Amino acid sequence: MEVGNQSQTRPWRHVHVKLLDMQSLWYWGLSLNGQQRRTFEKKHGNLINILDIQVQPMVLEMLVQYYDVFLRCFTFKDFQIAPTLEEYERFLGLPLETSPQVTETRLSREKKIRNGIEGIYKSYLDERLYQFRQDKDWPAFMDVYRLLIYELVLFPHGDDYIDLVAADAYLAKRDRGENPTMALLANTYYTMNHYCKRRGGYLRCCIPLLYLWMTSHLFHSKIKLACPIENFKWCCIKIMSKDLWAKHFDQVTERTIRWYPMWNEREEIIVKCRGFPNVPLLGTLGAINYNPELLSRQAGYPVIKVPPKEDLSPFVIHGLKTQDGELHKKIRQAWRSVIKKGKEYGSRSCGASIDYKNWLTSQAKKSESPQHRDREVQTYEAQETIRVRELEEDLAQKEVERKSLKRRLEETATALASVKQEIYRERQLSDQAKERARVEEKNKLKIGSCLRAADQEMCFRRLQRNQATLEKEQLKEALSALKGRETEREAQLLLFQEKTCQLEKELTKARSTKEQLINQRQRSVLELTKVRAKAESDEAYYQATIKELRSTSEMWKRRCQDVADEAEV
C-alpha cells in the first residue's frame, strides 16, 4: 500500500490518450434491431450508447494537467471538480442500489499469455459473435457483445487482446449482479494518479466516460434531457486544437462551470465508508480513494468548510496481489456500511465559503496548476519542446494512418473471415447437396418399383373401398329399418305404458273398493254376530217362555180335566 504526499511542483505531464477503434463494435451493434436492442439496453444500460461518444483526445491531455494527485480532483483557479460514483452511475444507466453464453470454463480454454498478462484474443470473440448471429442465438450474442464492450471500452487493455483480469468485472456483473461503476471510477483515478506521477504515458481507463463527464460540466446543452449521453449530443461541441482547449480551460471559472446537470439530480451522495476517512475504490488495476467531501457542489450543495487534512489522506494499492488480500477484504467490508450526506450540507446551492476559497487559492499555488506557472518557464519549455511537438504531431499523424490501415486491415480480415466462412458453408452445402442427389438417385429405382406395387395395391384398395361403400349403404338401409322398427316399438311401448297406467289406476280403485267391501263385510259380520247373539238370547227367552207356557198349559189342562172330572161327578 502506498500513501501519497502532496507534491510541491508540477512539470508538464506528457500523458496521452489512445483513441479506441469502435468500427467492429459499431458493426456488431447493427445486428441488434428492434426488440433485441431494447432487451439489451434494459439489461445492460447505456453500453451501446457509450459507443456514440466522439472523443477529442487533446481535451483529456489538457485536463490531466489540472489533476491534483494528493486531493484526487482537478484543481482550477477558483474551484475543484472530479468524477463521482453518482455521475458514473447515471452515465452507465446501472443504478448502484441494484446489483449471458460465454462461460468462465470456455474462457479458460481460450486464454493466452501475452506480455505476462492472461487473456484471450479479440478475434476469438469476433468468431463467436459471427457464429451466434448466424445461428440467431441472440441471448448468447448479447452476452459476448457485452463482454467485448467491457474489455475494449470500459476496461481497455489493447486493441486486439482481452485481459481476463478485467473480464472478472464482466463475470461479476453477470453471475453475482455486482455493479461495475466502482471499478470504472477506480480505474479512472488509478490511471490518472499513476501516469501523472510518472509525468507520461497512455491513460488506461474508460476514455468515453471521462470525456463525457468533462464535457457535461464544461458545456451547456441546448435541450435539457434526463439522459447524459443524449444531453451530450445536443451540446454540439466543436472540434478545437490543443491551444484553443488550453485557452478554454484557462478561462473556465466557478460561474461558468455547469455544476448540477438535470440528469444528476439526487438528494444524497456517498461521502465515506466506515473505517476510512473518505471513499475507497477497488478496480481491476488496483485500489485508490477519492474525496467526495470536496465535491458537494456537483450534487447541488455548497462547500461550507474545508475537510481536515486527515480526512483527505490518499492511499493507493497497486494491482490485485494476494499479499494485499486483507486490504481488499477491508474495502469490501467497508462498502457494506456507507455514509451519505445531503441535507446536512444545508440548503441547495453551488456556492462556497470564504474559508474554502482561501484554502483553494493556497492549494492551487502549492500544486502549481498550469495557470500559476511562470511565463518564462513556459516560454523556455515551449522552445525546448517545439521539435518534440513536431515529432509528436508527425507521430500522431503516423499513428492515425496506422490506425486507419489497421482498421481497414481488421475490416478486411473480418470480411475475409466472413467470406471464408461463407465459402466453407457453401462447400458444406454443395457436398450435402451432392450426397442428397446420390441418395435420391438410388432411391428413384426403389421408388419406381414401390410405385408399381403401390398402383396395384391402390387398385385392390379401390375395390375394397367400393365393396366397403356398398356394404356401408346396405348397413345404412338396415340401420334405417331398425330405426323404423325401433320407432314403432317405442310407440307400442308408450301405448303399453298408457294401458299400464290405466290398469294401475283401475287396480288402485279396485283395491280401494275391496277394502271398502272388506270393511263393510266386517261391519256386517259384527252386526250379524250381534243380531245372532240377540236372536239366540231371544230364542232362549222364547224357549223358556214356551216351556213355561206349556207347563202352565199342562197345569191348566190338568185343572180343566180335574174340573171336568169333578163336573162329571
Q: Residue 376 above 60 pLDDT?
A: no
Answer yes or no: is pLDDT of 384 > 70.
Answer: no
- Output the pLDDT for position 6: 45
Confidence of residue 378 (pLDDT cuts 50, 70, 90): very low
Query: Which one-letter DSSP state was computed for residue 352?
Result: B
Q: Give the pLDDT mean for 347-356.
A: 87
Which residue in the block uniquely carries the three cell numbers 442427389?
437
Distance CA 478, CA 474 (A): 6
User: What's the pLDDT tens digit per position in 478-535?
Assistant: 888 888 888 888 888 898 888 889 988 988 898 888 889 888 888 888 888 888 888 8
Encode pLDDT of 270-312 as tens digits.
Answer: 999 988 999 999 888 889 999 999 999 998 899 888 888 888 8
Cell of 229: 449521453
Q: Which residue has the cell 456483473?
A: 173
pLDDT digits (tens, 9 = 90+) for 6-59: 444 457 888 888 887 788 888 888 888 888 888 898 888 888 999 989 899 989
- Residues β-bridged to residue 286: 318
Q: What is the pLDDT of residues 215-252, one digit of tens each?
A: 999 988 777 778 888 888 888 788 888 888 889 998 99
How far is residue 434's CA from residue 319's CA, in Å, rounded to a whole number? Answer: 58
DSSP annotation of 159 reads S
H helices of 82-206, in order, are 85-92, 104-110, 122-135, 138-149, 164-176, 181-198
End-to-end C-alpha distance for the chain, whole angstroms: 194
Q: What is the pLDDT of residues 58-109, one digit of tens each?
A: 899 999 999 999 899 999 988 999 999 999 999 998 887 643 333 333 334 4
Q: Which residue has the higher pLDDT, 14 or 392?
A: 14
- Specify whether the CB–CB gap between 44 and 262 falls below 8 A: no
Q: If you compute the radius of gyration of the chain from its CA atoms, what whole number of angstroms results? A: 56
